[in-house]
Structure 1
Amino acid sequence: MAASAGPADQGKPLPQAMGDVALGREVFRFETFGNEGFWTDAVRLPAGIMAARVTPMQALELGLQIDADAIDSATKARLAAELRADPSGRSSALLNDPNVTMALIKANAVIGMAPKGAKVGATCALCHAMTDASVFKSPKGGSIGSRIDGLANHSLNLGKIFATAANTRALYTVAQTQLDANHGKTLGRAPTGLTENSSEADFDAYFGNPRFYPIGMFDDTFDGNGDPMHNSPLFRQDLAAPYGSEATFTKIDDFSNLVFTTLFDQTMLTTPGGRAFVHKLAGAAGDEMIADYVKILADTGVTGYPYVRATAGGKPGTLTTPIGFRVDNRKLLALNAYLSSLPAPPGAFGDRAAVQRGRALFQSAGCTGCHNTNQGRPVPTTIHAMAQIFPGDRPVILAPRTPPLNAVQDTPGSFFDDKMAVVNASLRGEKRGVAMPLLLDLARKPVFLHDNSVPSLDALFNPSRGRLAPHPFYLTGGRQRADMAEYLRSLDTHSR
């Protein structure tokens, strides 16, 4: 029998509509749709950066990336001279001057922080772009060089960046909360949750603690739970459907619209459509969370919201317009095209004999029951049920919901399924489970599984993790695991 090259059931094809690639690049890099109001006037991130006197070196240590091509020639020449004298940058006057940080932001040189007049917004590039580090690289992951769009920023300490803001409380809906409707229970990595009465120091302590909000992760669900997931790449998104680790969205423009209309301006959740969607997801707990959020905004003097420019219309609760708003669809489709055009990095080839042995193992050990060997082919669109990918899944029902939504549920003692407790593919009538990831750029990836729970490829396949652990597909021999790791690190879109 011929070795399998992938599962027989590849799932239903999920083609994506495409727009203009050049416009899509501008959207990815610089478009905020008005969210600069949220980040400047509500969260007050620029004010916090200035108050904390964050230097460029400290920003780089937080994993931020600096576009050298956006720096004026005189400053670039001076920086080059300082780095020639001290390649570590420790004695660089420019890299240790807090005034230079805001100058770089205003010059549009801090990737993902887009200046809009006197305000600063956030773009897709913040979490999904790197540089080639041709000018400087911080040991903690930040770099200065030419942009490389689409790469996941595995070193971005987003929690610490949030904690630097002057009003971190405005991020309440993506924090780990403790709600009366949930009888004081909290879901996340912290022992206790935040409330509407928690102080700014309490919020900073949560977001700034990497045990609660790990480096390289972003909490992209406004569910009041502490469920950050690891940043994912945004190259070759034509191969990646469905979208989100929980496979909620079949169209990437719908996923992008959700990001722009909610996550990049969480005050949009206070609109009637936002309230309706959160109620649909979380019932009384969702209602309480939004009421608490409105109180926090009032207590911290936030006015004039919501900020994002979007067209009202469509039914709240649908994937096309989850909160009844949609940003410029032409730009969303252009973003589709750009994300699909971005090339995946070449594979990392070390021991080619090990790569060949690893490929044979990939087929013989059953990996092709879920994954394809051909990485230039779209990933299978089927969703794998939680009990299949996580045999230790023993969920407790936390709240009933109206079908097709499944009940809010979670397995105590595990972070793996936290992300799917409230937001999952049951929004579109599918099962609670996980989507297949792109097996690309794995040589750069420092941790594995969306919850950061596995520290290496060797550990991923090591049976010491136990039969009930997430992704319990193991290789008993160290040599086998090393060969499999070599193979996976070698994968790119030319791999067959």
Structure 2
Amino acid sequence: MMRLIAAASIVFVFALGFAISVPARATATGQAAAVPSPRAEDNRRAGREIFRFDTFGDEQLWTGVLRMHEAIATVTPETALAVGLKVDVDALPAELVAALQARPADLLTNPGVTTELLRLNAVVGVKGTVNGAGQLASVGITCALCHSSVDNSFAPGIGKRLDGWANTDLDVGAIVALSPALDEATKVEFRTWGPGKYDPRHHAFDGTSIISLNSPSLPIVIPPIYGLKGVGFETFTADGPISYWNSYVGVGQMGGKGNFSDPRIKLFISQTPDLVTPQLRALLEYQLSLRTPKAPRGSFDHAAANRGKRVFRNEARCATCHQGPTFTDVLSGPDANVPFLHDPAEVGMDPAYAARTATGKYRTTPLRGLQQHPPYFHDGSAPDLRSVVDHYDRHFGLNLTERQKADLVEYLKS
């Protein structure tokens, strides 16, 4: 039972990464330690393919342990879309597009269409192998599952890819609960996570068995991964540079074949062949190329945002921690290889999640594309930006006026 429960917990995750034990391969800025390749553009293109389509052999978990290929065989596109899975319209042949336009109800309620979408590599972040009999033989996941969305240009959940965007609709717990390998009590637990959340500290997969890390489950929001360049340390607790987290997630959470070790959290995983480390450099190049999207036209009040910028810098004192072009002070310490962090009590955050990590503290979150990914804070406890402002107003005793709060929200939207 423990094996199955753990298997459910380890899956999905923020696909910010995947890779193997990387601390020696990456610097504190998240850049690979080796001399940058003169073929950076080639690396970025290769990294995009890795990000979108490479499972790193994690079928060993999704197919071998969770038997998700059996569950997916009965899932309709309608159900898949309802739990937040996305479809890449550019991967669909013209005849299928025409059929979806002419007979959407017929196709979206047909499980066979789900299998066909997987055969076409059209389901964002899910890679399936279909055998000669047209049956789904195996399934795995990629980074894009949690960290890509679509623009809904064809229909809700169907459109052009938006790499780097957090899939805030993705209900990881509900998806995992479809596994025929789980008992009802386990399914109930994961269904409580809700859309846009995952717990990467609950269990880990070592290639053959499940390791229990922490209990009870404390799911956190799936973050976007655009705007990473210059940030240095990714994740809410800044356990390591970007490639460190890629390694942790890819091996221990996605279930890919590779190596990861961190004595701080007493986690050591070794597998051969290593399918992740060789992909790290190109993957990182692509991640760092993903730019923060601009706020949509008409989505905020420009005059109020200009006033809010002054509040941000002065009365609200936000710029004390949200510094510079990246809006974070994580690299402001005396050693750029060591993240500058904050105790949970200092910023009024729940210490429970931080206590499960390698640092025990929280990083100042970069303010990138805030409009695109509510809710806020690591646990999603702030449903909107006004709630964020209210939290810090109370915690720091700022005594902001209603006008100042409203203006500050407009600035954060911008």
Counterpart of 1:264?
254
Matched, 1:100 2:113: yes
Counterpart of 2:147?
128
Supply the distance in 1 between the matched residues of 2:363 and 2:61 (Cα, whole angstroms): 31
Q: Which secondary structure state, in structure 2, belongs to the residue aligned with residue 136 of structure 1?
A: coil
Counterpart of 1:387?
345
Counterpart of 1:63?
84
Counterpart of 1:362?
312
Supply the distance in 2 between the matched residues of 1:120 and 1:240 (Cα, whole angstroms): 33
How high is the TM-score relative to the length of structure 2? 0.78
1:422 to 356, 381, 391: 356
2:125 to 112, 125, 134: 112
Q: CA deviation at 1:438?
A: 2.1
Q: CA deviation at 1:79?
A: 1.0
Q: Which secondary structure state, in structure 1, belongs to the residue aligned with residue 162 of structure 2?
A: strand
Counterpart of 2:335?
none
Counterpart of 1:243?
234
Amino acid at match of 1:363: R
Indicate conservation of the 8 Å contact 2:321/2:327, yes or no: no
Distance change in 2, residues 1:378/1:74 (3 Å): farther
Q: Which secondary structure state, in structure 2, belongs to the residue aligned with residue 63 of structure 1?
A: coil
Q: CA deviation at 1:439?
A: 0.7
Q: CA deviation at 1:256?
A: 0.8
How high is the TM-score relative to the length of structure 1? 0.66
**Cα deviations across residues 345-385 of structure 1 (Å, max 9, x unaligned)?**
01245211001011000001210110025348986441112
Q: How does 1:99-248 map to 2 (within 5 A)?
A: 99-116=112-129, 118-137=137-156, 143-168=157-182, 200-209=183-192, 213-221=193-201, 222=203, 223-225=213-215, 226-248=217-239
Indicate conservation of the 8 Å contact 2:30/2:233, yes or no: no
Q: Which secondary structure state, in structure 1, belongs to the residue aligned with residue 64 of structure 2?
A: helix
Amino acid at match of 1:339: Q
Q: Which secondary structure state, in structure 2, belongs to the residue aligned with residue 239 of structure 1?
A: coil
Indicate conservation of the 8 Å contact 2:329/2:364, yes or no: no
Counterpart of 1:351?
301
Counterpart of 1:188?
none
Distance change in 2, residues 1:238/1:28 (3 Å): same
Indicate conservation of the 8 Å contact 1:317/1:324, yes or no: no
Q: Which secondary structure state, in structure 2, belongs to the residue aligned with residue 94 of structure 1?
A: helix
Q: CA RMSD in A?
A: 2.6
1:255 to 245, 256, 264: 245
Indicate conservation of the 8 Å contact 1:48/1:165, yes or no: yes
Q: CA deviation at 1:64?
A: 1.0
Amino acid at match of 1:133: N
Supply the distance in 2 between the matched residues of 1:115 and 1:208 (Cα, whole angstroms): 24
Indicate conservation of the 8 Å contact 1:463/1:475, yes or no: no
Matched, 1:80 2:101: yes
Indicate conservation of the 8 Å contact 1:133/1:145, yes or no: yes
Larger Rg: 1
Supply the distance in 2 between the matched residues of 1:474 and 1:29 (Cα, whole angstroms): 44
Q: CA deviation at 1:14?
A: 2.5
The gaps in structure 1 that reach 5 residues or longer are 1-11, 83-88, 138-142, 169-199, 266-307, 394-415, 426-431, 491-496
Supply the distance in 1 between the matched residues of 2:199 and 2:222 (Cα, whole angstroms): 9
Indicate conservation of the 8 Å contact 1:111/1:129, yes or no: yes
Matched, 1:479 2:403: yes
Supply the distance in 1 between the matched residues of 2:227 and 2:392 (Cα, whole angstroms): 34
Q: CA deviation at 1:327?
A: 4.2
Amino acid at match of 1:486: E
Q: CA deviation at 1:324?
A: 4.1
Q: Which secondary structure state, in structure 2, belongs to the residue aligned with residue 345 of structure 1?
A: coil
Supply the distance in 2 between the matched residues of 1:58 and 1:217 (Cα, whole angstroms): 18
Q: CA deviation at 1:75?
A: 0.7
Amino acid at match of 1:342: L
Aligned length: 351
Amino acid at match of 1:389: V
Q: Which secondary structure state, in structure 2, belongs to the residue aligned with residue 435 of structure 1?
A: coil
Counterpart of 2:70?
47
Amino acid at match of 1:487: Y
1:451 to 375, 379, 404: 379
Amino acid at match of 1:127: C
Supply the distance in 1 between the matched residues of 2:81 and 2:261 (Cα, whole angstroms): 42
Matched, 1:329 2:283: no
**Cα deviations across residues 417-454 of structure 1 (Å, max 9, x unaligned)?**
222222232xxxxxx21012221111122211110111
More deviation in 14-23 or 37-46?
A: 14-23
Indicate conservation of the 8 Å contact 2:330/2:341, yes or no: no
Q: Which secondary structure state, in structure 2, belongs to the residue aligned with residue 77 of structure 1?
A: helix
Amino acid at match of 2:110: D
Supply the distance in 2 between the matched residues of 1:68 and 1:49 (Cα, whole angstroms): 20
Supply the distance in 2 between the matched residues of 1:341 and 1:253 (Cα, whole angstroms): 14
Supply the distance in 1 between the matched residues of 2:250 and 2:145 (Cα, whole angstroms): 13
Amino acid at match of 2:284: N
Indicate conservation of the 8 Å contact 1:132/1:145, yes or no: yes
Supply the distance in 2 between the matched residues of 1:332 and 1:121 (Cα, whole angstroms): 19
Q: CA deviation at 1:99?
A: 1.9
Amino acid at match of 1:205: V
Q: CA deviation at 1:316?
A: 5.9
The gaps in structure 2 that reach 5 residues or longer are 1-26, 38-42, 131-136, 204-212, 332-338
Amino acid at match of 1:262: G
Indicate conservation of the 8 Å contact 2:393/2:399, yes or no: no
Q: Which secondary structure state, in structure 2, belongs to the residue aligned with residue 384 of structure 1?
A: coil
Distance change in 2, residues 1:60/1:368 (3 Å): same
Q: CA deviation at 1:49?
A: 2.6
Counterpart of 1:342?
290
Counterpart of 1:181?
none
Supply the distance in 1 between the matched residues of 2:410 and 2:319 (Cα, whole angstroms): 17
**Cα deviations across residues 184-208 of structure 1 (Å, max 9, x unaligned)?**
xxxxxxxxxxxxxxxx010111112
Matched, 1:441 2:365: no
Distance change in 2, residues 1:463/1:21 (3 Å): closer
Q: CA deviation at 1:40?
A: 1.1
Q: How does 1:293-304 map to 2 (within 5 A)?
A: none
Q: Which secondary structure state, in structure 2, belongs to the residue aligned with residue 434 of structure 1?
A: coil
Indicate conservation of the 8 Å contact 2:88/2:161, yes or no: yes
**Cα deviations across residues 390-431 of structure 1 (Å, max 9, x unaligned)?**
2xx7xxxxxxxxxxxxxxxxxxxxxx3222222232xxxxxx
